[in-house]
Amino acid sequence: MIIENYKRSYLAGLEVAERIASYIRKTQLENKHCVLGLATGSTPISVYQELVRMHKRENLSFENVYTFNLDEYCGLRKTHMESYYYFMFEHLFSYIDIPHKNIHIPDGKLRENDIHNYCLDYESQISELGGIDIQILGIGRNGHLGFNEPNCDMNSITRKIELTETTRIDATPSFGKLSCVPKHALTMGMQTILNARTIYFMAFGESKKQIVETAFTKNITEEVPASFLQSHPRCYICLDQYTNITEQ
């Protein structure tokens, strides 16, 4: 892992967006497609804003880009304002030229019997496109990546999981009350994430300071899923002045 400390979170966002744009342009020159793994939450918003700006002002095209989102709440329709489907269109997809057939976001409204095969198919689609080139990640206060909650398996693939109480409490302000926060979600697995060729992990703000220190300055442990990133050969840990750590 490569730790990059930025003074302000938006500067990290600009840099990550710039590197993603360079990669997209490189694949376009080579007449190839590229595959991005995308995250939701407040952390990656500055990346998406900058990508939208580059699309509008600098002719950055997303026509050869395929995307796979990390996760989605079970039970929410695409039109639900707290669904990650809604989030992605609100912050990115509505403003760029990505073909809609290239967008993949786990479906929160599947029938229970269909979930297993759907998750296997999600994995197959990623593999058939050659795997994820660049994965963006944030982190939950409990160390989750996507919705791979503490004590998840490092070899896990896309599946349905039960959300922890910490995650549900953190989501409560958006849903109004705890009882409205979904109890389950679909998430890409830890293995799916770790298979990405390049990872940009971002964590900003005082509330993430402690978990960032635990994840990256202590031993790798499944109790802190983000600590698995320590073993990734090309993972950039992008931090701001609050989460700032130096490599041990």
Number of residues lying near ligand PGA (CB under 6 A) = 7
> Do β-strands 184-187 and 71-73 pair in parallel, antiparallel, or remain unpaired?
antiparallel
The residue among 41 and 150 lying less far from ligand PGA, judged by its C-beta, is: 41
Distance in angstroms (rounded) separating the CA atoms of residues 112 and 80: 20
3-state secondary structure of 51: helix
Contact indicator for 223, 157 with CB cutoff of 8 Å: no
Q: Identify whether 149 is a catalytic site residue.
A: yes
By the rule CB under 6 A, 150 interacts with ligand PGA: no
Q: Identify whether 4 is a catalytic site residue.
A: no
From 144, 170, 232, 240, the catalytic residue: 144
Contacting residues for 170 by C-beta, under 8 A, at least 6 apart? 140, 141
Q: Which residue is nearest to ligand PGA (CB)?
A: 41
The residue among 34 and 196 lying less far from ligand PGA, judged by its C-beta, is: 196
Q: Identify whether 128 is a catalytic site residue.
A: no
From 4, 18, 33, 142, the catalytic residue: 142
Q: Which of 13, 37, 108, 138 binds ligand PGA (CB under 6 A)?
A: 138
Stretch of residues binding ligand PGA (CB under 6 A), selected from 54-62, 134-142, 184-192, 238-246: 134-142
Single-letter code of the amino acid located at 191: Q
The encoded tokens of residue 150 equal: 């503490």
Query: Treating both helix axes as pointing N-terminal to C-terminal, what angle do 84-91 and 45-58 enclose, rounded to 10 degrees?
Result: 40
Distance in angstroms (rounded) separating the CA atoms of residues 159 and 144: 15
Stretch of residues binding ligand PGA (CB under 6 A), selected from 107-115, 136-144, 210-218, 219-227: 136-144
Minimum distance of ligand PGA from residue 71's CB (angstroms): 9
Q: Identify whether 71 is a catalytic site residue.
A: yes
| Cα–Cα nearest to 230, from 216, 218, 241 | 216
Q: Which of 13, 37, 108, 140 binds ligand PGA (CB under 6 A)?
A: 140
Site string for ligand PGA, 17-46 (x = CB under 6 A): ------------------------xxx---
Neighbour tally for 107: CB within 10 Å:
18
Helices (runs of H) and strands (runs of E) counted in the chain: 7, 10
Catalytic residues: 71, 142, 144, 149
Residues that bind ligand PGA (CB under 6 A): 41-43, 138-140, 144
